[in-house]
Structure 1
């Protein structure tokens, strides 16, 4: 079955299904196995995949390449017990996001918006781990050069929003900390991405933390 511009929930957990329906949409197509998910994706499909499904293969299995190799398909890998190691494996396999399956509704919506915009979404813990690992691979002189230069073209507010986002803050948290609306946060981030020639928050985090 081919579905155009569709949302697909892949889970056999009725509690999780209700959580996703309440937080995202009740109009999603439902499948209860990994193999079934491969058969319903279509152009511009967004698949929310419960990694606790019994037949989800190991990340190195060819099944992932077959699923993630489909054009215009974006996969949000969802775990009830997320770990940084699994998150790195999910991103390396080609998933567009890795998150806690029971993330709060505001976070689910943010993940959806980020992924549909063609960006990568990861939680703050995993982002910090990737930043630390990347820093170890860079020479100190390289790091210093980028740190001194990244915000030169940004306004003070854009710099503040960028720094918070680069450290894993959600749009909602940035809105609260800066006393501005979430719509304004999105506008500032769009301006930051454009000025810095970036496409997602992970790239922003690497730039802000001095990793070229």
Structure 2
């Protein structure tokens, strides 16, 4: 039993939670250790189970829920419990939901009509550190990262950045290294590193990879703001 993957189910519909529990616990290596009806309850449960044998490894979470939705909860979970992997399981394949969930650290995004065998495979993959997107969602993620043809609304996060930080963020989106950014902006690598640290902090991102994904999703805006 020590090799079981411990799961936390988060969905505002009790019938969904009960059905998932029944399906998942039919797998010998999967164990549901708790369930919650919204993001806040999930955070409270994660805190209470932290450091115990029943500490969740993977959280399966819906998007639309009262009190705290799945996107906001995903951001909190990945920040407060970095060892926990998040798999979004929902009926919504909206581009913005996919973008936000992945930007906030979700390792997978599946629809609720996913066959139980595939869901189990996804859980195991995410537990091992891989990313898993359902059919059609990978294409959506790629489309999200492309510049928009129509000028979108400027995200409030970008307004908080200084002009120099926006230049650095734009350079990250273009795939430039710290050394290349320093050469392009005529500043030192140390200064670039300081800007990157500040950007990650202000945008509440975990690492440079997430910064690159976020920057790619709003590259057109960054181009306009830096003109």
TM-score normalised by structure 2 residue count: 0.50
- TM-superposed CA distance for 1:50, in Å, is 1.8
Structure 1 residues 25, 127: closer, same or farther in 2, change over 3 A? same
Checking the alignment, whether the CA contact within 8 Å between 2:98 and 2:141 is kept in structure 1 is no
Take 2:95 and 2:7, find their aligned partners in 1: how far apart are those partners?
26
1:50 matches 2:53: no
How many angstroms apart in 2 are the aligned matches of 1:133 and 1:35?
A: 28
Q: Which residue of 2 aligns with 1:90?
A: 101
| Cα gap change, 1:6 to 1:51, in 2 (>3 Å) | same
Distance of 1:35 and 1:15 partners within structure 2: 19
What is the RMSD computed on CA atoms of the aligned residues? 2.8
Where 1:124 maps in the other structure, the secondary structure is coil
SS at match of 1:6: strand
Flag the structure with more relative contact order, 1 or 2, with Cα contacts below 8 A and sequence separation at least 6.
1
Which residue does 1:162 correspond to in 2? none
Query: How much does 1:127 deviate?
Result: 1.1
Matched, 1:104 2:115: yes
User: 8 Å contact 1:76–1:98 — kept in the other structure?
Assistant: yes
- Structure 2 CA distance for partners of 1:45 and 1:87, relative to 1, 3 Å: same
Aligned to 2:9: 9
Shift of 1:51: 1.7
Runs (5+) with no aligned partner, structure 2? 148-227
CA apart distance, 1:56: 2.9
1:1-212 aligned at under 5 Å gives the runs 6-25=6-25, 27-28=31-32, 29-41=34-46, 42=50, 45-57=57-69, 59=71, 64-69=74-79, 70-131=81-142
Report which stretch shifted further, 96-105 or 26-35: 26-35
**TM-score, scaled to structure 1:** 0.53
